[in-house]
Structure 1
Amino acid sequence: MTGQLDNQDKNESRRIAIILIALVAVLVAAALLMLPPLSDLIVLHLAPGLGLKDAAIISFFITLGLMLVFALASGDGLLGEIQFILGGFFLFFFIIWLMISWIF
């Protein structure tokens, strides 16, 4: 038997889930609508340098080496810190990729 408080918790949880799903849908729609203006801006400012493709290759190997050093220095090795390494890898890769293509 579910009590009144359980029903209120279920309703509140559903309401929060619906709001979060709607918020994610709005953010995805906004990101899709912003892609064309952002791509023109990125091409304009990053084209004269090294280029995005070459910078991505360089950034991948730099980030891979950096994450291996971090994993070995952390003490737990690769398996103990894998959830943090994956998030850190993508964050470092993105930042290093854009910095290399912008600066060089």
Structure 2
Amino acid sequence: MRRAPGYPVRMTGPAKKRTREEYEQGLPDHHDPTAGFAGAPAAQSALTLRLILALFGLVVCLAGGLGWLATDLPAWPAVLLLIFAVVAVVDIVVIVRRKARGEPG
């Protein structure tokens, strides 16, 4: 396998479980191509903002879906809104687990 010049070969073993201290210090910026560019700080995940937006989406989709079912209109938009509400619940669970693990944001 050929590799581009300047890129070292990275040999990694099995992934070890990260500690709370590692999350508090911040994880490597593998997802941020501009990390450290011109002295810029490393990007951090905005988990709290994501949680607020997911909660807002849950409330709006749930209220809209149930409100739509109360009318005589076709039911498919209500089903679509309720599916979005389920997606928001899954996102909330993922966010809460990440925050409980100690990730900043």
- Check whether TM > 0.5: no
The structure whose residues are more often helix, as a share, is: 1
